[in-house]
Amino acid sequence: MTIAYLVNHYPKVSHSFIRREILGLEEAGVQVRRFTLRGADADLPDPQDQAEAEKTEVVLGQGGVRLLLATLGQLLRHPGRWFKAFRTAWAMGQGAPGRILRQMAYLVEACWLADKMDGIQHLHAHFGTNAAAVARLTHILSGVPYSFTVHGPEEFDGPLMLDLPGKIADARYAVAISSFGRSQLMRWTDPKDWGKLLVVRCGVDAIFAKAEAQPLCEEPELSCVARLSGQKGLPLLIEAAALLKRRKVKFRLTVVGDGEMRKEIEQQIADNGLQDYVVITGYLSAEGVRAAVAASRAMVLPSFAEGLPVVIMEALALRTPVIVTQIAGTPELVNNECGWLIPAGAIEPLADAMQAALAAKPETLRAMGEVGRARVLEQHDARRNARALGEAIGAL
């Protein structure tokens, strides 16, 4: 069976879990064609992402002329389907001129994608935002069934604005990455459609599953792997680091990642005199990320909003305990047996947890890491979860 994957932006440093899912399906015998609305980042550090970029067709990379010709072709060949898709796009615009214009752009993109559906039996989109909208319109134009995976938190911030109820109603399935995520979809779905709502968790790949135990960490090292954006709570982390400094706690915090808030966070580090305590590495290769996490006593992620972060799974798979906020699907994986759950937005509990990790005996941290690793291998095996998705959509 041949299926298509559609993502808004692929490949991307923070979307390695999508790559793992695709590769898991291919290993199970499913042929997968990759499509992205926008092209890959120019500076992908991971060779696997670079290889994915070569395999991925970029919708907006076709140029305006091709997209408009595809739209005209769909209108002339299938006027009934085209006008149904037009009405659906108009409805998703909800009467707001800006939103309507955006949905019309999605319709143009869907017309080109519909031309690519020959020989494809199913279309799966990641994220319930624009990719799901284009997939829905492509389904109407081509008749190819579709499904989509909702990650959060963006989809849960504006479910009606995104017309999640309509997207779910037209889809064969809607997939959540946690039980919490499924419960949020249930809020906006007719109970008769609850059977369409599946839980397929994101997974770690074989490199993490086969990772050997590293020497026990004796140094006062902490790590954080995150996009430097508002939802990840990095300013809160720097405030907690400043509090540890005032407590005269010896530590070093390595922040792996980049993003739109980097300048502000670097300034906050300087303002608090933390240059000798906190370093931002920028994006690293997958190997570099693993090395940073494995060399730390705990991986810290003080997010304000999440789905269920893959980096938590990766850290635990490497036997590194985690310090994370008690939000969304995170408590489905983490408790005090493998890490520290803290209230979101609270500086002192975050600093207390960081201090506890720094003070813990290495043997205690290793025992916590082993508990977390066992949970990840049980719940978040990328190949097994990809096969579950393939079976659900009828690809296996």
| 201, 387, 164, 84 alpha-carbon torsion, rounded to 10° | 170
User: What does the pLDDT average to over 251-257?
Assistant: 97
Select from 173, 161, 180 the least CA-distant residue to 124. 173
- Residue 277: predicted pLDDT: 98
| 338, 339, 342, 348 alpha-carbon torsion, rounded to 10° | 160
Residue 10 has pLDDT above 90, yes or no: yes
Q: Residue 220, preceding bond cis, omega within 30 degrees?
A: no
User: What does the pLDDT average to over 222-248?
Assistant: 97
The residue ranking higher by pLDDT, 127 or 217, is 127
Lowest mean pLDDT of 94-103, 213-222, 227-236, 359-368, name the range.
213-222
Confidence of residue 49 (pLDDT cuts 50, 70, 90): confident
- Residue 81: predicted pLDDT: 98
For the chain, the distance separating the N- and C-terminal CA atoms, rounded to the nearest angstrom, is 8
Q: Residue 349, preceding bond cis, omega within 30 degrees?
A: no
- Residue 47: predicted pLDDT: 84
Phi and psi angles of residue 23, each rounded to the nearest 5 degrees, phi first: -65, -35
- Do the domains 2-203+381-392 and 207-379 sit in the same CATH topology, yes or no? yes
- Residue 285: predicted pLDDT: 85
Which tens digits make up the pLDDT trace of 269-326? 999 999 999 999 998 988 999 999 999 999 999 999 999 999 999 999 999 999 999 9
pTM of the entire structure? 0.91
Select from 292, 274, 291, 297 the least CA-distant residue to 358. 297
Lookup: tokens for 116: 């690519």
Residue 382 has pLDDT above 80, yes or no: yes
- Residue 294: predicted pLDDT: 95
Lookup: tokens for 235: 């300013």
Select from 216, 198, 203, 81 the least CA-distant residue to 138. 81
Helix or strand run (H / E) with residue 124? strand 122-126
- Residue 248: predicted pLDDT: 98
Mean pLDDT (the chain, rounded): 95
Instruction: Decide if 146 contacts 136 (C-beta within 8 A).
Output: yes
What is the CATH T-level fold of the domain 2-203+381-392, as seen in this structure? Rossmann fold (3.40.50)
* Alpha-carbon distances of 26 from 32, 34, 101, 160, 291, rounded to whole Å: 7, 12, 37, 34, 28
Which tens digits make up the pLDDT trace of 151-176? 999 999 999 999 999 999 999 999 99
- Domain boundaries defined on the chain: 2-203+381-392, 207-379
Q: Which residues pair with 340 in a beta bridge?
A: 323
Confidence of residue 217 (pLDDT cuts 50, 70, 90): confident
How far, in Å, CA of 255 to CA of 208, rounded? 20
Q: Which CATH architecture has domain 207-379?
A: 3-Layer(aba) Sandwich (3.40)
